[in-house]
A and B are shown apart, each in its own frame.
Chain A
Amino acid sequence: DAKTTQPPSMDCAEGRAANLPCNHSTISGNEYVYWYRQIHSQGPQYIIHGLKNNETNEMASLIITEDRKSSTLILPHATLRDTAVYYCIVRTNAGGTSYGKLTFGQGTILTVHP
Chain B
Amino acid sequence: DAGITQSPRHKVTETGTPVTLRCHQTENHRYMYWYRQDPGHGLRLIHYSYGVKDTDKGEVSDGYSVSRSKTEDFLLTLESATSSQTSVYFCAISKTPSGSATGELFFGEGSRLTVL
Contacts and interface: CB of A to CB of B under 8 A. Distances in A.
Interface of A: 32, 34, 36, 41-46, 49, 87, 89, 91, 93, 95, 98-107
Given A99-B48, A101-B48, A106-B42, A43 B107 contact: yes
A48 to B, nearest CB: 9
Contacts of A104: 35, 42-44
A99 B102 CA distance: 7
B49 to A, nearest CB: 9
Contacts, number: 63
A99 B42 contact: no
Contacts of A49: 102-104
A43 B42 contact: no
B33 interface: yes
B71 interface: no
B102 A101 contact: no
B90 A93 contact: no
Contact of B101 (A43, A44, A100): A100
Contacts of A43: 90, 92, 107-110
A34 B101 CA distance: 14
28 contacts: A34-B103, A42-B109, A42-B110, A43-B90, A43-B92, A43-B107, A43-B109, A43-B110, A44-B43, A44-B92, A45-B107, A49-B103, A49-B104, A87-B42, A89-B103, A93-B103, A99-B31, A99-B48, A99-B50, A100-B96, A100-B101, A100-B105, A103-B45, A103-B59, A104-B35, A104-B43, A104-B44, A107-B42
